[in-house]
Amino acid sequence: MNAQVHALKPLDGASLFDPVPFKVYTQRDLDRIAPLARLSPEQRFEMKVVSSVLPFRVNQYVIDELIDWRQVPDDPIFQLTFPQRGMLAPEHYDRIAALLRAEAPKDELERAIDEVRHALNPHPADQMQMNMPVDDEGHRLDGMQHKYRETVLFFPSQGQTCHAYCTFCFRWAQFVGDKDLRIASSEASALHAYLRQHTEVTDLLVTGGDPMVMKTRHLRDYLEPLLQPEFDHIQTIRIGSKALTFWPHRFLGADDADDLMRLLAQLVESGKHVALMAHYNHWKELDTDAAQAAIRRVRATGVVIRAQGPLIAHINDDPAVWAKLWKMEVKLGIVPYYMFVERDTGARNYFEVPLVRAWEIYQQAIQQVSGLARTARGPSMSASPGKVEIQGVTEIAGEKVFVLRFIQGRNPDWVQRPFFAKYDDKATWLDQLVPAFGEEKWFWQDEYQSIRAQKLAT
């Protein structure tokens, strides 16, 4: 095993990259980010206001390698990582700005910030109420979600941050320091006990935050035991990560990068399907030497890289961007997987795109690529009932409608069943749509309400 992985190093380009120190900036460090000096004092104050409410974290690699500072503030990676005034509703922005200008007492400022955060729907799709499993005694198992029959999500406590934060992140509530808003567990034993008991589970998704901020030894503690025969039902191990974008040196010159490669290869060679669920929002994220070398190195272990990300205003609401992204992913050996709709949380009013426009962008982008890139599904809404895909806009019996289907559902019987919503050119989420053809409710609505009531009662 060790010899194999080390033999790969000269071939995959990792040895060409010396260790690079990880230098990170948070809200307290905004004044130390040199390129921001070209912005006006008012723009910098706006960043301070927004980053008081929503999490901000960026590193030197993103600043130096991914952002074209000549195009700021319109540069897509700048929009992806740096706070913008429009991310807060005017009334929320004005409230926090006034307190900062007045140098209000700390407790008064923190109380206002907390109220604004709780107004931003910090946990969408009922994830705290409906997705958290319980043990045999009815106690909630922190750090896990089990929404779909086959898949369990696990949030290791050591991975509940990221190398940089996305401004639109639907898990922003994980990063603001409020324990009541956080999902995390350091109990490998609890994870293993739950998986041992639930043999219907075939897929484990290790997520966060970003598990790739963890030391490999911690990741190994969670994953290596799954190679025992009692976990043969776990066929797929997914690792959700933005590290290939925000810190590709994690896979190249980091102290334990070689150990990480050995762990990934060990999991693959033991018969598990290992998928790195890479989050990409723009083709510029793929367009550096370090990013491409990291991709090659991960693929050399046998891990499959699958790419997903939301369609978001100010960053990628352009079919040409998606077409180029998917083409580059296929060229680099990455499988395009999902185009998501921006979730109904956080700065959604700044980033959301009408569903009809999302469908048009998907359709126009998918027409520009070959069959190998048409594995990308979408636009998909990860709503409380399940993952709902917009399949198209059409006219039936004189009525213009959205054609929808479940890709995943709380009841597997819902999956792949088409249903129809009345056309609405302003709707941005499932709860803004109504059934077509005069129907009073969706075919799944009564059963979903029953499932929800049962979950909320436990």
Over the chain (458 residues), the average pLDDT of each successive run of 10 is 40 70 96 96 97 96 98 97 97 98 96 94 70 78 90 92 94 72 69 95 96 96 97 98 98 95 98 98 97 97 98 97 98 98 92 98 98 97 96 96 97 96 97 97 97 83
| Per-residue confidence (pLDDT) for residue 12, from 0 to 100 | 58
Q: Is residue 32 part of a domain?
A: yes
| Per-residue confidence (pLDDT) for residue 180, from 0 to 100 | 55
Give the count of alpha carbons within 13 A of 149, CB side only. 9
3-state secondary structure string, 387-430?
EEEEEEEEEECCEEEEEEEEEEECCHHHECCEEEEECCCCCCCH
> Distance from first CA to last CA of the chain, Å, rounded?
46
In this prediction the pTM is 0.92
Q: Is residue 33 part of a domain?
A: yes
| Per-residue confidence (pLDDT) for residue 7, from 0 to 100 | 40
Angle (CA) 89 77 94, round 5°: 20
| Dihedral sign from CA coordinates of 244, 318, 173, 96 | positive
| Per-residue confidence (pLDDT) for residue 5, from 0 to 100 | 40
Q: Is residue 296 part of a domain?
A: no
Q: Which residue bears the tokens 């994980």? A: 174
| Per-residue confidence (pLDDT) for residue 184, from 0 to 100 | 54
| Per-residue confidence (pLDDT) for residue 138, from 0 to 100 | 75
Number of domains in the chain: 1
Q: Is residue 102 part of a domain?
A: yes
Q: Is residue 193 part of a domain?
A: no
Q: Is residue 71 part of a domain?
A: yes
| Per-residue confidence (pLDDT) for residue 129, from 0 to 100 | 65
Q: Is residue 182 part of a domain?
A: no
Burial (CB count <10 Å: 0-12, 13-18, 19+), residue 411: middle
Q: Which residues contact 93 (CB under 8 A, 6 or more apart)?
A: 46, 49, 50, 85
| Per-residue confidence (pLDDT) for residue 17, from 0 to 100 | 81
| Per-residue confidence (pLDDT) for residue 458, from 0 to 100 | 66
Q: Is residue 175 part of a domain?
A: no
| Per-residue confidence (pLDDT) for residue 198, from 0 to 100 | 96
Q: How far is CA 152 from CA 124, 131, 133, 305, in A?
A: 18, 10, 9, 19
Containing structural domain, residue 93: 2-118
Q: What's the rounded Cα separation, in Å, for the pair 304 and 401? A: 37
